């Protein structure tokens, strides 16, 4: 009886081993089909091309400027301007709309005739108390047009660092003009019929070679590509 059980156990083990072996053969024989492949996802980059047109952009030269020649008249401001001169032309040849902002100095930089500075100039019979009195005589204003390149068309006033001009992709342009203004300091001229203001203007004419204002711009992307939600 014990021998029969032993034989039966051995037969069961042998059967199990054969079953496993046959499963291995069947498994490799009837494996499922598989396929594969690979590719590359590509997007082109929207071109950015906002640039100045002309070699002299942002470096204009104005004609000589002098004060208003008329004598002081109560209630009237004496000012004289260079007139509008083209300072920049910007073109957007890219594929993205842009916003352009111009920044310009509020205070003039003074270059003196003797090559020195305000402090180095001898007082003489008259000299203003501070260089700021000279700087306050002068200001610059910028105007722009996006349609026509002319001083007459440039009627949109710019505020330094704040005015944003839109340039359409592929065709947008902006024409920027500026004028420098000499405004005689007639704040106290009511008591001396313009005498002090005239002295200051004359001192400037005798001692100042030129005045200048820095101008710069920054162009920024207006919209994303493709347009967001």
CA-based nearest residue to 62, from 40, 86, 38: 86
- Total residue length of the chain: 229
Lowest mean pLDDT among 55-59, 77-81, 131-135, 190-194: 55-59
What pTM was computed for the model?
0.81
Radius of gyration of the chain, Cα coordinates, nearest whole angstrom = 41
Please identify which residue in the block is written with the tokens 């111009």.
102
22 pLDDT more than 80: no
Distances in Å between the Cα of 74 and the Cα atoms of 71, 80, 189 are 10, 17, 8
Backbone phi, psi, residue 126, to 5° = -150, 140
Q: How confident is the model at residue 111 (pLDDT cuts 50, 70, 90)?
A: very high
Peptide linkage before 180 cis (omega within 30 of 0): no
pLDDT in tens, 69-95: 999 999 888 999 999 999 999 999 999
Q: How confident is the model at residue 26 (pLDDT cuts 50, 70, 90)?
A: very low
Run of H or E residues at 90:
strand 85-92
């Amino acid at each position: 009886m014990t021998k029969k059980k032993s034989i039966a156990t051995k037969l069961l083990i042998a059967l199990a081993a054969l079953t496993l072996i046959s499963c291995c053969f069947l498994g490799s024989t009837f494996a499922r089909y598989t396929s594969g492949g690979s590719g590359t996802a590509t997007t082109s980059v929207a071109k950015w091309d906002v640039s100045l047109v002309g070699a002299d952009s942002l470096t204009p030269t104005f004609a000589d400027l002098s004060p208003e020649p008329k004598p002081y008249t109560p209630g009237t401001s004496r000012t004289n301007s260079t007139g509008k001169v083209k300072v920049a032309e910007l073109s957007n040849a890219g594929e993205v709309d842009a916003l352009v902002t111009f920044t310009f100095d509020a205070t003039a930089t003074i270059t003196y005739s003797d090559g020195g500075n305000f402090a180095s100039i001898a007082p003489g019979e008259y000299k203003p108390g501070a260089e700021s009195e000279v700087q306050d005589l002068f200001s610059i204003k910028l105007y722009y047009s996006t349609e026509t390149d002319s001083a007459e068309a440039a009627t949109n006033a710019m505020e330094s660092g704040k005015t944003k001009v839109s340039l359409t992709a592929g065709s947008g342009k902006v024409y920027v003009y500026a004028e420098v203004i000499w405004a005689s300091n007639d704040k106290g001229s009511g008591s001396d019929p313009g005498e002090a203001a005239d002295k200051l203007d004359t001192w400037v004419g005798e001692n100042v070679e030129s005045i200048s204002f820095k101008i710069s711009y920054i162009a920024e992307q207006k919209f994303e590509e493709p347009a967001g939600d």
